[in-house]
Amino acid sequence: MLHEAIESIVSENKFIAGIIVFGSTARGESNEESDLDLLILWENLNVNSNKRHIYIYKAISKPLPAEKLTVMDMEYTRFLNIKKATPLLLNIIWDGVAVYDKHGKLEDFMLKVRRELESKGVIRRKDGKHYYWELPKPGCKIKLEV
């Protein structure tokens, strides 16, 4: 079902350059109560930034059940050139599965970031159902050079 929905979404919305599934679905931990978390990577989208998220959400929620859908969005090239990564963005990169990639760069990029984090001593921990990041030293800044 998901792959058919993705095919429908990208065929009708040419601005979509990538779709990454993240969260419990990507980790294989989802159940009937889980939502579907998607990061939509866009390009050449000429929509006012105040209305962009609503525009994307409406496009995505047509073939997918909106009541169990969480959608985030980001410009494709900005994602590939992250300067500052929030813990949420790191989680997306760590767990994420690129289910659509117009330019074929996402999986390689995410793998490089994962390796870079590991090489710098950043560890992803799990406490029950929750995940968190452990830095090599408390408060240290990690510069990604991907």
Global pTM reads: 0.92
Give residue limits of the domains in the chain. Answer: 2-112
Interval 63-105: pLDDT, tens: 887 678 999 999 999 999 987 888 899 999 999 999 999 999 9
- Domain topology for 2-112: Beta Polymerase; domain 2 (3.30.460)
- Quote the CA–CA distance of 25 and 16 in Å, as a whole number: 21
Interval 12-59: pLDDT, tens: 999 999 999 999 999 999 888 889 999 999 999 999 888 999 999 999
CA-based nearest residue to 15, from 37, 40, 50: 40
